């Protein structure tokens, strides 16, 4: 397996503890400048995950988001066309934007209302791939992932569930977007994400279709209830975000289930495992320190 990443987000730790059964080659390069056709040569399937991913931060770096997420995707797709590889593109359920009681992959294009430059760039990349399939014969599929939860070496904390668990373990106020407490949002257990990619690859469904991939739709209120059952409750602090919106977003996951895919993750398990991991890190980082010093050192990352 060949992996390419420019390590822009410094996530070296994602390369730790790879399953020993695999055979890996890692290339530290930028998809925008690398010889992608050379790198993809000999591959049957290319899984395209590289992206600028922080939706809120994408407001201040629209050009970079456009370059990496749209032009980068186009470049990877062109390499697939040149080498005959099929492309599995990972997009996001944020392309929907909300506003309907429920939405699925067959919705009208006018119902796709991305709320951030990040989500808009993912939608433009999807559309570009569709054009390349029609005009240049690209074989591809698009997965629209819900927001990931669950533990991994490279997990990030600017997404809802992980961030709330972090704040709860550190006894910090839980920061919730003012409009979000009771809005539904799609979430995806990390194990389900990996299993869905394997499921779609094994069935070779590269005829240009889109698949929503999400374990459940739930609200921030539900997430906080699960967290407070296992962690001391912190106060909620309502904050504003330029990308919050007034709409709930209930996204259907039936299409993949109807093909025989089984979601196995649960919010309960994801929250418990994340809290457990963070507590273990906190206690091992602080072993040897005492009382207040220990508490302050962990909170301030010393």
Ligand X SMILES: NC(=O)c1ccc[n+]([C@@H]2O[C@H](COP(=O)([O-])OP(=O)(O)OC[C@H]3O[C@@H](n4cnc5c(N)ncnc54)[C@H](O)[C@@H]3O)[C@@H](O)[C@H]2O)c1
Using DSSP's 3-state secondary structure scheme, residue 103 falls into strand
Site for ligand X in 24-43 (CB under 6 A): 30-32
Looking at the Cβ atoms of 9 and 233, the one nearer to ligand X is 9
Minimum distance, C-beta of residue 193 to ligand X, in the bound complex (Å): 8
Looking at the Cβ atoms of 198 and 297, the one nearer to ligand X is 198
State yes or no: residue 184 binds ligand X (CB under 6 A). no
State yes or no: residue 13 binds ligand X (CB under 6 A). no
CA dihedral 257, 258, 261, 263 (to 10 degrees): 20
Q: Within 13 Å of residue 83, how many CA atoms lie on the same side as its CB?
A: 21
Looking at the Cβ atoms of 84 and 153, the one nearer to ligand X is 153
Total chain residues near ligand X (CB under 6 A): 24
DSSP structural state of residue 93: G
* Separation CA 30–CA 247 (nearest Å): 36
Candidates 36, 46, 47, 68; binder of ligand X (CB under 6 A) is 68
Kindly tell me the sign of the dihedral angle through the C-alpha atoms of 281, 284, 289, 290.
positive
Looking at the Cβ atoms of 2 and 286, the one nearer to ligand X is 2
State yes or no: residue 53 binds ligand X (CB under 6 A). yes
Minimum distance, C-beta of residue 289 to ligand X, in the bound complex (Å): 31
Candidates 40, 45, 65, 72; binder of ligand X (CB under 6 A) is 72
Binding string to ligand X for residues 134 to 163, with x set by CB under 6 A, is what? -----------x-xx-----x-x--x----
Looking at the Cβ atoms of 157 and 298, the one nearer to ligand X is 157
Minimum distance, C-beta of residue 1 to ligand X, in the bound complex (Å): 16
* Separation CA 39–CA 248 (nearest Å): 41
Minimum distance, C-beta of residue 200 to ligand X, in the bound complex (Å): 14
State yes or no: residue 98 binds ligand X (CB under 6 A). no
DSSP structural state of residue 172: P
H/E stretch holding 232 reads none
List the beta strands (DSSP E) in the chain.
Answer: 2-4, 25-27, 45-48, 86-92, 140-145, 147-149, 174-177, 184-189, 207-213, 216-219, 236-239
If one counts every other C-beta atom within 10 angstroms of the C-beta of residue 176, the result is: 22
Q: Give contact residues for ligand X (rule: CB under 6 A).
A: 5-9, 11, 30-32, 49-53, 68, 72, 90, 92, 145, 147-148, 154, 156, 159
């Amino acid at each position: 397996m060949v992996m390419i990443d420019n390590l822009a987000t410094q996530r070296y730790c994602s390369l730790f503890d790879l399953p020993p059964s695999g055979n890996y080659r890692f290339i530290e390069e930028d998809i925008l400048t690398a010889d992608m056709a050379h790198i993809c040569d000999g591959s049957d399937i290319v899984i395209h995950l590289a992206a600028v991913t922080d939706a809120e931060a994408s407001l201040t770096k629209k050009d970079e988001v456009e370059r990496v997420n749209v032009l980068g995707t186009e470049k990877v797709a062109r390499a697939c066309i040149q080498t005959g590889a099929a492309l599995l593109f990972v997009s996001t359920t944020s392309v929907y934007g909300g506003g309907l009681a429920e939405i699925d992959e067959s919705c009208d294009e006018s119902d796709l209302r991305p709320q951030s430059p990040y989500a808009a760039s993912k939608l433009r990349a999807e559309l570009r791939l569709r054009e390349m399939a029609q005009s240049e014969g690209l074989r591809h599929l698009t997965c629209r992932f819900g927001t990931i939860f669950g533990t991994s070496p490279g997990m990030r904390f600017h997404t809802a569930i992980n961030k709330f668990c972090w704040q709860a373990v550190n006894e910090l106020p839980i920061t919730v977007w003012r409009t979000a407490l009771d809005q539904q949002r799609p979430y995806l257990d990390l194990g389900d994400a990996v299993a869905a990619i394997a499921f779609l690859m094994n069935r070779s469904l590269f005829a240009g279709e889109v698949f929503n991939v999400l374990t459940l739709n739930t609200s921030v209120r539900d997430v906080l209830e699960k967290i407070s059952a296992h962690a001391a409750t912190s106060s909620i602090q309502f904050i504003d975000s330029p990308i919050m919106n007034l709409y709930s977003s209930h996204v259907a996951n039936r299409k993949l289930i109807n093909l025989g895919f089984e979601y196995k993750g649960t919010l309960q398990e994801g929250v418990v495992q994340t809290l457990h991991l963070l507590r273990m890190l906190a206690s091992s980082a602080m072993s040897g320190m005492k009382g207040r010093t220990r508490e302050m050192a962990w909170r301030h990352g010393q």
